[in-house]
């Protein structure tokens, strides 16, 4: 793969790229079937981080418009990548109801409005114990640690309902990361 997660185009800070790669890598060596879901694909930056962290994972990329994904990135993501052009307001309730996927890592980076973040957070129901959910843009981009007002509050609402099952990990860039404990 010529494409490198550290440099491929994407709306991610260097430490966020490394974080996604490291999380995916943390379960890549554990025997089993690995599943990653990424809401918000755009040019594929986060998808490449996740793919290169865990080459054998089934990687699902959901976006309402996949026309911005460069062909070479698409090709580099490999045949175990499943791109789904759909509004997450439709995709997430459907996949949660099916309950067939056991997800190691869900990365939430779709539309940054409360309604969408709350909706996309429902993917947490599919995450297995020991797995992760990561929300991008929970903090403003400018390194001030200020909360993004459309993203941070719905994460707090989600956490209030699920705090007994999730433990928060340190902030990385604009990201909030939670590990499922049970």
Ligand X SMILES: C[S@@+](CC[C@H](N)C(=O)[O-])C[C@H]1O[C@@H](n2cnc3c(N)ncnc32)[C@H](O)[C@@H]1O
Residues that bind ligand X (CB under 6 A): 10-12, 39-43, 45-46, 62-65, 87-89, 109-111, 116
39 to 1, 51, 62, 74, 169: CA distances (angstroms):
23, 14, 5, 16, 20
Q: Are strands 127-135 and 103-108 parallel, antiparallel or unpaired?
A: parallel
Q: Would you state the structure tokens that stand for residue 120, as one six-digit string?
A: 């996309």
Give the nearest distance from C-beta 28 to ligand X in angstroms. Answer: 19
Least distance to ligand X from the beta carbon of 129, Å?
26
How far is it, in rounded angstroms, from Cα 153 to Cα 138?
9
Query: Would you call 14 helix, strand, or coil by DSSP?
Result: helix
Smallest distance, ligand X to C-beta of residue 164, A: 29
**Would you state the structure tokens that stand for residue 68, as one six-digit string?**
């911005």
Minimum separation from the CB atom of position 142 to ligand X (A):
16
Residue 23 vs 39, nearer CB to ligand X: 39
Q: Which is nearer to ligand X, 11 or 96 (CB)?
A: 11
Nearer to ligand X, 33 or 110 (CB): 110
DSSP state of 33: -
Strand residues in 64-165 grouped as ranges (E): 81-85, 103-108, 127-135
Q: Closer CB to ligand X, residue 62 or residue 127?
A: 62
């Amino acid at each position: 793969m010529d494409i490198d997660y550290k440099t491929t185009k994407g709306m991610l800070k260097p430490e966020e790229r490394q974080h996604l790669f490291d999380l995916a890598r943390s379960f890549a060596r554990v025997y089993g079937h690995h599943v990653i879901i990424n809401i918000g694909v755009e040019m594929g930056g986060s998808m490449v981080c996740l793919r290169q962290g865990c080459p054998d994972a089934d990687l699902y990329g959901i976006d309402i418009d996949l026309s911005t994904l460069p062909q070479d990135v698409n090709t580099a993501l490999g045949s175990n990548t499943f791109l789904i052009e759909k509004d997450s307001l439709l995709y997430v309730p459907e996949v949660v109801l099916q309950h067939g996927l056991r997800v190691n890592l869900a990365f939430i980076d779709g539309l940054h409005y409360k309604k969408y973040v709350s909706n996309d957070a429902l993917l947490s129901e599919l995450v297995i114990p020991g797995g992760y959910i990561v929300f991008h843009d929970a903090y403003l981009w400018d390194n001030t640690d200020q909360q993004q007002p459309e993203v941070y509050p719905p994460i707090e609402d989600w956490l209030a309902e699920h705090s007994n099952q999730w433990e928060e990990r340190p902030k990385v860039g604009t990201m909030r990361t939670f590990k499922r404990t049970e």
